[in-house]
Amino acid sequence: MDRAESLAEQLGLPIADRRLLAQALTHSSWLHEHPGEAAGHNERLEYLGDAVINLAVSEALYARHPDDDEGILSARRAAIVSAPGLAALATRLDLGAFLALGEGEAARIGPRRPSILASAFEALAGALLLDIGWERTRDWLLATAAPELDAGLAPMLLKSPKSRLQEATQRTTGGRPAYRVLEAVGPDHDKIFRVEVAVGDEVLGMGIGPSRRVAETAAAAEAVEVLLARAAEADAAAAEAGG
Protein backbone atom coordinates (compact mmCIF):
# COMPACT_ATOMS: atom_id res chain seq x y z
CA MET A 1 0.00 0.00 0.00
CA ASP A 2 1.48 3.41 -0.97
CA ARG A 3 1.66 6.53 1.18
CA ALA A 4 -1.50 8.17 -0.17
CA GLU A 5 -3.51 4.97 0.14
CA SER A 6 -2.34 4.43 3.71
CA LEU A 7 -3.13 8.00 4.75
CA ALA A 8 -6.56 7.90 3.07
CA GLU A 9 -7.37 4.74 5.01
CA GLN A 10 -6.22 6.31 8.28
CA LEU A 11 -8.21 9.52 7.74
CA GLY A 12 -11.41 7.61 6.96
CA LEU A 13 -12.60 10.28 4.55
CA PRO A 14 -14.22 9.68 1.13
CA ILE A 15 -11.08 10.67 -0.79
CA ALA A 16 -11.35 9.91 -4.50
CA ASP A 17 -8.23 11.52 -5.98
CA ARG A 18 -5.23 9.62 -4.63
CA ARG A 19 -2.88 11.47 -7.01
CA LEU A 20 -3.87 14.77 -5.44
CA LEU A 21 -3.34 13.33 -1.98
CA ALA A 22 0.05 11.96 -3.04
CA GLN A 23 1.03 15.43 -4.25
CA ALA A 24 0.14 16.88 -0.86
CA LEU A 25 2.61 14.44 0.68
CA THR A 26 5.43 15.22 -1.78
CA HIS A 27 8.09 17.66 -0.60
CA SER A 28 9.99 19.65 -3.21
CA SER A 29 13.24 17.95 -2.14
CA TRP A 30 11.85 14.54 -3.19
CA LEU A 31 10.65 15.83 -6.56
CA HIS A 32 14.07 17.40 -7.17
CA GLU A 33 15.68 13.97 -6.70
CA HIS A 34 12.93 12.13 -8.66
CA PRO A 35 11.89 14.47 -11.51
CA GLY A 36 8.87 13.31 -13.46
CA GLU A 37 7.86 10.67 -10.89
CA ALA A 38 5.08 12.73 -9.30
CA ALA A 39 2.43 15.18 -10.45
CA GLY A 40 4.23 17.94 -8.53
CA HIS A 41 5.29 18.96 -5.04
CA ASN A 42 2.94 20.29 -2.40
CA GLU A 43 3.67 24.03 -2.33
CA ARG A 44 0.65 25.11 -4.43
CA LEU A 45 -1.62 22.98 -2.26
CA GLU A 46 0.05 24.49 0.81
CA TYR A 47 -0.96 27.96 -0.42
CA LEU A 48 -4.58 26.86 -0.78
CA GLY A 49 -4.65 25.00 2.52
CA ASP A 50 -3.39 28.03 4.42
CA ALA A 51 -6.53 29.93 3.43
CA VAL A 52 -8.79 26.96 4.21
CA ILE A 53 -7.36 26.48 7.69
CA ASN A 54 -7.50 30.18 8.55
CA LEU A 55 -11.15 30.44 7.54
CA ALA A 56 -12.22 27.24 9.31
CA VAL A 57 -10.37 28.14 12.52
CA SER A 58 -11.54 31.77 12.49
CA GLU A 59 -15.19 30.77 12.04
CA ALA A 60 -14.98 28.14 14.79
CA LEU A 61 -13.28 30.44 17.30
CA TYR A 62 -15.81 33.20 16.63
CA ALA A 63 -18.67 30.80 17.40
CA ARG A 64 -17.09 29.03 20.38
CA HIS A 65 -15.73 32.04 22.28
CA PRO A 66 -18.49 34.70 22.14
CA ASP A 67 -16.99 36.72 25.00
CA ASP A 68 -13.54 37.13 23.39
CA ASP A 69 -12.71 40.40 21.68
CA GLU A 70 -10.90 40.66 18.35
CA GLY A 71 -7.46 40.71 19.93
CA ILE A 72 -7.97 37.54 21.95
CA LEU A 73 -9.59 35.75 19.01
CA SER A 74 -6.60 36.70 16.86
CA ALA A 75 -4.22 35.40 19.53
CA ARG A 76 -6.13 32.12 19.75
CA ARG A 77 -6.04 31.73 15.98
CA ALA A 78 -2.33 32.55 15.81
CA ALA A 79 -1.57 29.87 18.39
CA ILE A 80 -3.32 27.26 16.23
CA VAL A 81 -2.27 28.29 12.71
CA SER A 82 1.36 29.15 13.54
CA ALA A 83 4.01 26.73 12.30
CA PRO A 84 4.39 25.11 15.76
CA GLY A 85 0.60 24.89 16.11
CA LEU A 86 0.10 23.23 12.73
CA ALA A 87 3.09 20.97 13.33
CA ALA A 88 1.37 19.76 16.50
CA LEU A 89 -1.76 18.91 14.50
CA ALA A 90 0.36 17.11 11.89
CA THR A 91 2.08 15.14 14.63
CA ARG A 92 -1.34 14.15 15.98
CA LEU A 93 -1.96 12.51 12.59
CA ASP A 94 1.58 11.08 12.40
CA LEU A 95 1.75 12.94 9.08
CA GLY A 96 5.55 12.84 8.98
CA ALA A 97 5.44 9.08 8.45
CA PHE A 98 3.63 9.58 5.12
CA LEU A 99 5.81 12.31 3.61
CA ALA A 100 8.01 11.81 0.55
CA LEU A 101 11.25 13.67 1.28
CA GLY A 102 14.56 13.81 -0.52
CA GLU A 103 17.33 11.75 1.03
CA GLY A 104 19.22 14.79 2.25
CA GLU A 105 16.13 16.35 3.82
CA ALA A 106 15.07 13.08 5.43
CA ALA A 107 18.52 12.72 6.99
CA ARG A 108 18.13 16.14 8.67
CA ILE A 109 15.12 14.99 10.78
CA GLY A 110 12.91 16.33 7.99
CA PRO A 111 9.87 14.21 8.93
CA ARG A 112 9.91 15.81 12.38
CA ARG A 113 10.87 19.35 11.40
CA PRO A 114 8.03 21.70 12.45
CA SER A 115 8.15 23.82 9.28
CA ILE A 116 7.89 20.75 7.03
CA LEU A 117 5.09 19.24 9.12
CA ALA A 118 3.15 22.51 9.14
CA SER A 119 3.49 22.93 5.37
CA ALA A 120 2.39 19.33 4.79
CA PHE A 121 -0.67 19.83 6.98
CA GLU A 122 -1.62 22.92 4.97
CA ALA A 123 -1.11 21.00 1.71
CA LEU A 124 -3.29 18.17 3.00
CA ALA A 125 -6.06 20.64 3.83
CA GLY A 126 -5.79 22.10 0.32
CA ALA A 127 -5.98 18.67 -1.28
CA LEU A 128 -9.02 17.73 0.80
CA LEU A 129 -10.80 20.94 -0.17
CA LEU A 130 -10.38 20.14 -3.86
CA ASP A 131 -11.41 16.50 -3.39
CA ILE A 132 -14.17 16.32 -0.77
CA GLY A 133 -15.30 19.96 -0.61
CA TRP A 134 -15.43 22.74 1.95
CA GLU A 135 -17.90 21.34 4.49
CA ARG A 136 -16.23 17.94 4.94
CA THR A 137 -12.78 19.52 5.00
CA ARG A 138 -13.89 22.08 7.58
CA ASP A 139 -15.47 19.40 9.77
CA TRP A 140 -12.29 17.31 9.59
CA LEU A 141 -10.13 20.30 10.51
CA LEU A 142 -12.32 21.20 13.47
CA ALA A 143 -12.32 17.62 14.75
CA THR A 144 -8.52 17.44 14.44
CA ALA A 145 -7.99 20.77 16.23
CA ALA A 146 -10.81 20.37 18.77
CA PRO A 147 -8.57 20.54 21.89
CA GLU A 148 -6.98 23.79 20.72
CA LEU A 149 -10.27 25.33 19.60
CA ASP A 150 -11.97 24.64 22.93
CA ALA A 151 -9.03 25.43 25.19
CA GLY A 152 -9.84 27.92 27.91
CA LEU A 153 -6.36 29.42 27.99
CA ALA A 154 -5.59 32.72 29.66
CA PRO A 155 -5.12 35.49 27.06
CA MET A 156 -1.54 36.11 28.25
CA LEU A 157 -0.60 32.50 27.50
CA LEU A 158 -1.95 32.87 23.97
CA LYS A 159 0.46 35.66 23.16
CA SER A 160 3.79 34.93 21.54
CA PRO A 161 6.91 35.06 23.75
CA LYS A 162 8.09 38.14 21.83
CA SER A 163 4.83 39.97 22.57
CA ARG A 164 4.92 38.93 26.22
CA LEU A 165 8.52 40.10 26.57
CA GLN A 166 7.82 43.47 24.98
CA GLU A 167 4.82 44.06 27.25
CA ALA A 168 6.80 43.03 30.33
CA THR A 169 9.76 45.30 29.58
CA GLN A 170 7.53 48.25 28.76
CA ARG A 171 5.79 47.83 32.11
CA THR A 172 9.01 47.56 34.10
CA THR A 173 11.72 49.60 32.40
CA GLY A 174 10.01 51.22 29.46
CA GLY A 175 12.66 49.71 27.20
CA ARG A 176 12.21 47.65 24.07
CA PRO A 177 13.85 44.27 23.50
CA ALA A 178 16.63 44.26 20.91
CA TYR A 179 17.52 41.06 19.08
CA ARG A 180 20.99 40.37 17.72
CA VAL A 181 22.16 37.45 15.59
CA LEU A 182 25.32 36.05 17.17
CA GLU A 183 25.99 33.51 14.45
CA ALA A 184 24.39 31.75 11.50
CA VAL A 185 26.18 28.55 10.57
CA GLY A 186 25.62 25.89 7.95
CA PRO A 187 24.61 25.86 4.28
CA ASP A 188 21.84 28.17 3.07
CA HIS A 189 19.24 25.39 3.03
CA ASP A 190 20.06 24.23 6.56
CA LYS A 191 21.35 27.18 8.62
CA ILE A 192 21.26 27.27 12.40
CA PHE A 193 20.84 30.71 13.98
CA ARG A 194 21.91 31.78 17.48
CA VAL A 195 20.26 34.97 18.70
CA GLU A 196 20.38 36.96 21.93
CA VAL A 197 17.84 39.45 23.23
CA ALA A 198 18.77 42.40 25.40
CA VAL A 199 17.00 45.31 27.06
CA GLY A 200 19.35 48.22 27.44
CA ASP A 201 22.76 46.76 28.24
CA GLU A 202 21.45 43.56 29.81
CA VAL A 203 21.16 40.31 27.88
CA LEU A 204 18.09 38.48 29.12
CA GLY A 205 17.89 35.45 26.87
CA MET A 206 19.45 33.43 24.09
CA GLY A 207 17.86 31.12 21.53
CA ILE A 208 18.83 28.72 18.77
CA GLY A 209 16.72 27.69 15.78
CA PRO A 210 16.57 26.87 12.06
CA SER A 211 15.53 30.45 11.23
CA ARG A 212 16.12 33.87 12.73
CA ARG A 213 12.43 34.09 13.69
CA VAL A 214 12.46 30.78 15.55
CA ALA A 215 15.69 31.66 17.34
CA GLU A 216 14.32 35.07 18.36
CA THR A 217 11.18 33.41 19.73
CA ALA A 218 13.29 30.98 21.77
CA ALA A 219 15.40 33.85 23.12
CA ALA A 220 12.27 35.79 24.07
CA ALA A 221 10.81 32.76 25.85
CA GLU A 222 13.98 32.43 27.92
CA ALA A 223 13.91 36.14 28.73
CA VAL A 224 10.28 35.94 29.87
CA GLU A 225 11.21 33.10 32.25
CA VAL A 226 14.07 35.21 33.65
CA LEU A 227 11.74 38.16 34.30
CA LEU A 228 9.07 35.92 35.86
CA ALA A 229 11.67 34.40 38.19
CA ARG A 230 12.88 37.86 39.21
CA ALA A 231 9.34 39.01 39.89
CA ALA A 232 8.67 35.94 42.03
CA GLU A 233 11.87 36.56 44.02
CA ALA A 234 10.91 40.20 44.53
CA ASP A 235 7.44 39.24 45.73
CA ALA A 236 8.89 36.68 48.14
CA ALA A 237 11.38 39.20 49.52
CA ALA A 238 8.64 41.80 49.97
CA ALA A 239 6.42 39.30 51.75
CA GLU A 240 9.26 38.30 54.06
CA ALA A 241 10.08 41.91 54.85
CA GLY A 242 6.43 42.69 55.49
CA GLY A 243 6.00 39.61 57.70
Catalytic residues: 50, 122
Q: Which amino acid is at 131?
A: D
Burial state string for 128-147 with b = 16 or more CB within 10 A and e = fewer than 16: bbbbbeeeebbebbbebbee
What's the rounded Cα separation, in Å, for the pair 14 and 189? 37
Non-local (6+) Cβ contacts of 138 within 8 A are 52, 55, 56, 59
Task: Give the H/E segment covering residue 198.
Answer: strand 192-199
What's the rounded Cα separation, in Å, for the pair 24 and 31? 12
The separation between CA 91 and the C-alpha centre of its own chain, rounded to angstroms, equals 11
Q: Provide the β-strand partners of residue 2.
A: none
